[in-house]
Amino acid sequence: MLNSIGLQNPGVEYFMEYDLPWLKNQDVAVIVNACGSTIEDYVELCKILNKADIDGVELNLSCPNVKAGCLAFGTTYEGVKEVTSKVRKVLDKPLIVKLTPNVTDITLPAKGAEDAGADAVSLINTLLGMSININTRKPYLANNTGGLSGPCVKPVAVRMVYQVSQAVNIPILGMGGIINGGDAIEFMLAGASAVSIGAGNFIDPYTSVNTVKGIEEYMKNHNIEDINDIVGKVKMN
């Protein structure tokens, strides 16, 4: 899937008044994805979220940084460390930093998050992609480029999760093309303590349920009692 839908939403006040009460009745953990255009945006948003009855915050550092020429916060060690450290000062709740894959070395932003006090990192966000209509000779997306997700990005995501697992000591939430239990196991073997499913839900609304069943089947077939026993246990050639 190649998309450029942005991060439009009704805002944190609306979320806290209307969406959060419903979520709290679903017997699930509530982790809020927070985004912004400037460091000040992130800090102000997390100040508000720190007072909310939520279980944690995922800091989306793949957003445009208006004050830095529309670069992404998450592309450098320094950028990730700066925004994460300032948010950490105002947020007492668990903090996950979501990293962009559109970098030369994914371990540097991950280290920046760890050094700034993040409790975990999540990766990967979408890869930057483009598609052109050969008849009009114009890109299909109005924004020209967009985020590529789905099964096609999984090998890149697994590789980056492995690299980050070798560079930091905090937990990793792995994502990128997971559509079944085998995919999830790959991420765990590479070093992910947990996994997330995105584009797969567009293919089949039961993707998450079936993935859990697939993980359970794998555990039975390999006599695994604790799924944590396989985290980071890939046997490299």
Please give the positions annotated as active site: 63
To which H or E segment does residue 49 belong? helix 39-49
- 46 contact partners, CB below 8 Å, separation of at least 6: 34, 57, 59, 87, 90, 91
194-196 and 172-175 as β-strands: parallel, antiparallel, unpaired? Answer: parallel
CA dist list (Å): 84 to 88, 120, 121, 160? 6, 11, 11, 20
**Residue 170 and residue 112: Cα distance in Å, rounded?**
12
**Residue 216 and residue 15: Cα distance in Å, rounded?**
34
71-72 and 64-65 as β-strands: parallel, antiparallel, unpaired? Answer: antiparallel
Please give the angle made by the CA atoms of 109, 124 and 139, to the nearest 5 degrees: 110
Residues 185 and 39 sit within 8 Å (Cβ to Cβ) = no
- 52 contact partners, CB below 8 Å, separation of at least 6: 16, 20, 32
CA dist list (Å): 159 to 96, 141, 187? 20, 28, 9
Please give the angle made by the CA atoms of 214, 216 and 23, to the nearest 5 degrees: 85
